[in-house]
Amino acid sequence: MRRTTLAAALSAAVALTAAVAMPTAEAAPHGALRPALDAPAKPYTPPLPTTAPPVTRTLSPGVTLTTYTFGRKNADDFWTVHVFLPAEPDGRISRATTELGPKDTADRVAQALREKGFAPRVEEVRSPAYADLAAGTLGWTVRLGGYAERPDAAAELARVKAAGFTGDTRYTAQDGTDYQAPQKVNVIRVDFSRFHGRVGTEFGPTLHGTEPATDLVARAHAVAGVNGQWFYNDAPGGFYVKDGKVLASATQGRGAIILNDGGRSVRVDTIKAHISLQTPGGAVQEIDGVNRFPGDVWNCGGVGGDTPTEQPQHDFECTDPSELVRFTPEWGTPPTGAGAEAVLDAADRVVEVNSSRGAEVPPGGSTVQAIGDSAQWLLDHVHEGDQLGIRTRVSDGYGRPVALTPDTTIMQVGPTLVRHGKVSVNALGDGIIRFGTDQSFTYDWTNRSNPRSMMGVDDRGRLMLAVVDGRQAGYSEGLSIARTAELMRQLGAREALNLDGGGSSVMVTAADGVINRPSDSSGERSLGDAWVIKP
């Protein structure tokens, strides 16, 4: 999901380290920690009910597209007014911004609504079990009214706001709890016993930029494609390896999909990556990032010095005042600013050292930008003519090395959905769970229904690219993360990973263009990168 600046809504949270720090079991408000990532949770619900026969067509020999229709509109679903709660127990109700909270806070807001003549409901929100976190209570919401149409709920919301409260409208089928809600799902399967092409990734003219998936598919002369990673400041957010070359930084410990041999070998795992720089004099320094703005660590989970946390936190911006960041030619024009930099040729020999940042990247070479204390380290230890050693170490969730060969593609997205044929969501380790007083992110992004994109492989070795539409009442509501994992297992995945979602969820074929219904009102969104199927 796209972010370009530090959201104002997070500014207070940044000051509260506890709101994003890794919790102890006692600190977890919605369940105890599970001891092992690979201890999968049991299935949460029955399979999604099929309400129309799947429709399958062939896009290319060995490549099929199947459209599934699950569930149906339930007459018991309705639009309602969702009243926001103050983040603190004694906070001002008129300035409330959180969507759920402790029961005492919900009860206080509900009582205030009753005193103004409204009839609110206080409802418990449960969080399901994940591979690394037990089920429990996420928080409590305050809602009122039930309406067949959204305009009626909006009119009631206006009355609520006029009475001194804040809130929004919600459609109950999108609460993420109804497995029978309508869903429209498109799945591309690539059978390599008949398909002789490759599955890989594509980005625009430069890595720092975005393009619609239709353009990315056309650029690759591909049969079809789906959206790929999250992107922040118009650049990939997470470890990205294309043809064996590291193009973007790792968020340590987040899920990733690893492809070799054009997609014929696929596995899902968690990834850590460390890149070090060594000078001829023996000085060694860790490179904090690749192809991102120095000091700006989206999703946190860096290699040290991230504030307020070094643990993964999805859609959250950490900062680090002292960093080394490497830029490759794929990025485009590097950022300028104070600090220092070394310009390296294709053999990693230093051709230039500068006391400010912004030099062009030589063909086949790189630049290493430094800010804060790292800038002085670079000026003290790196000199023109030096032959630097740059070493990359990548490991999986078991600590085993991951080789980067010319046929290796890695895209870190997440969370993991299916591992070894069983539902296994690494929600805590992947940073899609928040802790602290404001649970709105976990509620909206993880628990509630949203459009989702997924990638996996089935027992027959067929690669799967899937998109479920969402936020479209009565047509396709979308899925929670837990139900997304269940869907992928239902579709036959033995390994599966969540991709970027929301308004970015899009599936494209060369013949038809966009074949799903993206949730943005403007239609197809520009993306940082995409998965493409090349004949």
Per-residue tokens: 32: 């105890």
Residues with Cβ < 8 Å from 286, sequence gap 6 or more? Answer: 274, 275, 276, 277, 303, 304, 324
Same domain flag for 344 and 431: no
Whether the Cβ atoms of residue 14 and residue 515 lie closer than 8 Å to each other: no
Same domain flag for 23 and 146: yes
Inside any domain, residue 205: no
Same domain flag for 13 and 141: yes
Whether the Cβ atoms of residue 366 and residue 333 lie closer than 8 Å to each other: no
Domain that holds residue 349: 271-397
Per-residue tokens: 158: 């206006």
Could you write out the three-class secondary structure of 336-387?
Answer: CEEEEEEEECCCCEEEEEEEEECCCCCCCCEEEEEECHHHHHHHHHCCCCCE
What DSSP string runs through 129-155?
-BTTB--EEEEEEEEEEEESSHHHHHH
- At residue 151, what are phi and psi to the nearest 5 degrees? -60, -35
Same domain flag for 391 and 473: no
Same domain flag for 147 and 27: yes
Same domain flag for 463 and 490: yes
Cα–Cα–Cα angle for 305, 300, 279, rounded to 5 degrees: 45
> pLDDT (tens digit, 9 = 90+) per residue, 284-306?
999 999 999 999 999 999 998 89
**What is the pLDDT, as a whole number, of residue 369?**
98
- At residue 112, what are phi and psi to the nearest 5 degrees? -65, -35
Peptide bond into 415 cis (omega under 30): yes
Whether the Cβ atoms of residue 300 and residue 309 lie closer than 8 Å to each other: yes
Q: How many CA atoms lie within 13 A of 129 on its CB side?
A: 15
Phi/psi region, residue 20 (left: phi>0; alpha: psi -120 to 50; beta: rest), is alpha
Peptide bond into 334 cis (omega under 30): no
Run of H or E residues at 418: strand 416-419
Same domain flag for 490 and 354: no
The per-type count for the chain, helices as H runs and strands as E runs, is 7, 35
Same domain flag for 19 and 90: yes
- At residue 389, what are phi and psi to the nearest 5 degrees? -105, 120
Helix, strand and coil in the chain, % to nearest 5: 15, 40, 45
Same domain flag for 136 and 19: yes
Report the number of distinct structural domains present in the chain: 2
Inside any domain, residue 224: no
**What is the pLDDT, as a whole number, of residue 434?**
87
Same domain flag for 147 and 28: yes
Inside any domain, residue 90: yes
Any bridge partners for residue 284, and if so which?
278
Inside any domain, residue 420: yes
Inside any domain, residue 445: yes
- Which CATH number covers residue 383? 2.60.120
Same domain flag for 81 and 178: yes
Per-residue tens of pLDDT for the chain, all 535 residues: 443 332 333 333 333 333 343 333 333 445 554 444 444 445 456 899 999 999 999 999 999 999 999 999 998 899 999 999 999 999 999 999 999 999 999 999 999 999 999 999 999 999 999 999 999 999 999 999 999 999 999 999 999 999 999 999 999 999 999 999 999 999 999 999 999 999 999 999 999 999 999 999 999 999 999 999 999 999 999 999 999 999 999 999 999 999 999 999 999 999 999 999 999 999 999 999 999 999 999 999 999 889 999 999 999 999 999 999 999 999 999 999 999 999 999 999 999 999 999 999 999 999 999 999 999 999 999 999 999 999 999 999 999 999 999 999 999 999 999 999 999 999 999 999 988 778 999 999 999 999 999 999 999 999 999 999 999 999 999 999 999 999 999 999 999 999 999 999 999 999 999 999 999 988 899 999 999 999 9
Same domain flag for 294 and 385: yes
Residue with tokens 């290796």: 408
